[in-house]
Amino acid sequence: MSNSPLSATRFRLTFGISWLVLMADHAMVLHYFDLPWQEAVIDSCISNGILLLFCLLIMNTLRYYLPQKEQLINIFAWCVTFSIVWLLLTKWLLKLSLGYHPGYTDLLSHSGSIRFSIAFLLLGCVTMISVLWQTWIMQKEDQVRKADAEKLAKEAELFKLRQQLQPHFLFNSLNSINALIGSRPAEARKMVQQLSDFLRGTLKKEETQWVTLQEELQYLQLYLEIEKVRFGNRLATVTETNEEVKQMKLPALLLQPVVENAIKFGLYDTTGETVIHIHTHKEGNELMVKVSNPFDPETSAPKQGTGFGLKSVQRRLYLLFGRSDLLATEAKENIFTTIVKIPQHEQSSDR
Amino acid sequence: MSKVVIVDDEMLARSIVKEYLEKHPQLELAAECGDGFEGVKAIQQYQPDLIFLDIQMPKINGFEMLELIEQPPAVIFTTAFDEYAIKAFEAHAIDYLLKPFDQERFDKAVAKWMDQKPSAIEKTTQELLETASHSPSQSQRVVVKNGSKIKIIPARDIFYLEAADDFVKIHTQEGYFLKNKTMSHFEQTLDEQQFVRSHRSYIINIQQITRIDPYEKDGHVAVLRTGAKVPVSRSGYGKLKAILGI
């Protein structure tokens, strides 16, 4: 990105050509008023050369100092002042260098107001263009900064959402292992292994990483095995899927919190056996995952929309897809179902 | 011999407490329970001296279970992680065991219990319940005992509450239930956006109000959907106006 309009090659070229055209016009007009070519060209070079210097001075100044909106009147005053200074300076120089030509002094004094007007217009234009250019650049930089900040915030948020592994789960699992060590050491060892694999999975995966449903389900299986040790016969799970769906993709670790929510809701809202159904299928270009659990409609009011730990899942889906309609819940009789939709087209361009 | 009851919904969690108890022959395990309902029953039946109680359990949590017992025995909580509960314990519990815990820590808790005077135990348990009742889950529902049955009343199903001596009458679709608590207890624990203390002796669920009529000189009555009329005092009227935006 250029700091000044002058550093952009195309602009510089246009600027230079315009200036040459201006100089040529200036000389031609003077020649039209009976000034010989030589004197006309010298006049043009001196007047426009100094004007060019003034323009460059203004452009360069505006690179470092951009007036606020309310100071635009100052710019106008500047342009007037510069034009007057320019007029006096050129008049003096021209008199010195071309005063020998008969009638030139007359021509010079008659053309004073025209010269002033043209200079003022030119300086005004250059100033306006510079101000607009600089403002545009500043806005662009601002936008980039904002976008960067947003991206950072988004990444941090995604990271946090993913980290919301329930400490409750971890400590209770450790407690189960503690109990198993005394009575069934082989099972304790197996559970340590499962818990480690599960934890490693949460650490390894990045929030933006996509995995196949198959991988996600395998990972989920680890989690379910651990929960089954904890809750024994009270917890059962049924997973329905097929080969085609298994190859569809989804953001890593998306389903675990959904299932965790279903387990908690189911186990803590009923005293009998809890069966968690996980059903996956393809619908259009979307992977649909339905997780359902029993609940007691008498005593609990599943909040409309989202409840419990589902908020973070919804937030994550929103950050990843910019859509808030990808997670839905429904309560029918005594079954609570969470439905997650994962669009398939975005991931190829994303990753 | 002292009698002990374990209440925890995870079998393995109960088994570790059982295992640690073996070192304490003076403690006799009377019963182990998988949820709060069984807990209430067992505690009434065996009148234990000490219970080991988990917080997060199906249907009703450990605190709600304790509320249903008239004279709760000494309690040592065993829990994994619950920010709110831990805050409550730090203020008032006899002791609490954070899972997983070892034999040594367990022995310490038992020793601490044996050093406590019975009168002090009753006081700490009451204070603990008071603190715990402010947890978010308990503002959503009220657990009452109806004869030998335990009833969970979701807050939205409550029409209004009425003071009645040492009890509070909780009026619902199915009639009223009594709970041994004060009005200010409910005023503090129930969601203040939904429940307004309209009168010294009444708290109304604002979802149930159909209209507010003037009554006598400068009083009002709120007419509920069921047709019930609930007195509204002057300050109560101000509160209702503010919350209903009239």
Domain co-membership, A180 together with A326 = yes
Domain termination site, one of A118, A152, A186: A152
A75 lies in some domain: yes
Min Cα distance A294 → chain B (Å) is: 13
Residues of chain B in contact with residue A230, where contact means CB-CB under 8 angstroms, are 10, 12
Domain co-membership, A285 together with A315 = yes
Is residue A69 classed exposed, middle or buried when 0-12, 13-18 and 19+ CB atoms within 10 A define those classes?
exposed
Q: What is the pLDDT of residue A185?
A: 94
| Yes or no, beta carbons of A175 and B16 under 8 Å apart | yes
Q: Which residues of chain A have pLDDT under 50?
A: 1-2, 303-306, 347-351
Q: What is the pLDDT of residue A305?
A: 41
Answer yes or no: are the C-beta atoms of A165 and A253 closer than 8 Å.
Answer: no
> Which of B152, B174, B123 is closest to B64 using CA atoms?
B152
Answer yes or no: are the C-beta atoms of A210 and A250 closer than 8 Å.
Answer: yes
What's the domain range around A266? 164-350
Give the nearest chain B residue to A301 (CA atoms): B154
Domain co-membership, A172 together with A265 = yes
| Yes or no, beta carbons of B99 and A175 under 8 Å apart | yes
Give the nearest chain A residue to B8 (CA atoms): A231
pLDDT digits (tens, 9 = 90+) for A168-224: 888 999 999 999 998 899 999 999 999 999 888 877 766 667 889 999 999 899 999
pLDDT digits (tens, 9 = 90+) for A263-284: 888 888 888 889 999 999 999 8
Contacts of A201 (CB under 8 A, 6+ apart): A219, A222, A253
Reported in sequence order, the residue ranges of B34-105 that DSSP labels E, i.e. its strands, are 50-53, 74-79, 95-98
pLDDT digits (tens, 9 = 90+) for B22-78: 999 999 999 999 999 999 999 999 999 999 999 888 888 888 898 888 888 888 989
Residues of chain B in contact with residue A234, where contact means CB-CB under 8 angstroms, are 9
Q: Say if B9 is an interface residue toward chain A (CB within 8 Å).
A: yes
Domain termination site, one of A99, A117, A152: A152
Total structural domains in chain A? 2
Residues of chain A in contact with residue B65, where contact means CB-CB under 8 angstroms, are none
Answer yes or no: are the C-beta atoms of B17 and B6 closer than 8 Å.
Answer: yes
Q: What is the pLDDT of residue A310?
A: 83
Helix (H) / strand (E) containing B226: none
Instruction: State pTM to two decimals.
Output: 0.67
pLDDT digits (tens, 9 = 90+) for B188-239: 888 888 999 999 999 999 999 999 988 887 789 999 999 999 999 988 998 8
- Give the domains, in start order, of chain B with CATH numbers: 2-137 (3.40.50.2300), 141-244 (2.40.50.1020)
A158 lies in some domain: no
Cα–Cα distances in angstroms (integers) from residue A41 to residues A30, A44, A46, A111, A281, in the given order: 9, 5, 9, 16, 83
> Which of A315, A319, A325 is closest to A164 using CA atoms?
A315
| Yes or no, beta carbons of B10 and A298 under 8 Å apart | no
Domain co-membership, A14 together with A129 = yes
> Which residue from B9, B80, B152 is facing A175, i.e. has the nearest CB?
B80
Domain termination site, one of A104, A124, A152: A152
CATH label of the domain that carries residue A215: 3.30.565.10
Largest CA distance in chain B: 71
Give the nearest chain A residue to B152 (CA atoms): A299
> Which residue from A172, A179, A267 is facing B80, i.e. has the nearest CB?
A172
Domain co-membership, A181 together with A322 = yes
Distance between CA A84 and CA A75 in Å, rounded? 14
* Average pLDDT, rounded, for chain B: 88
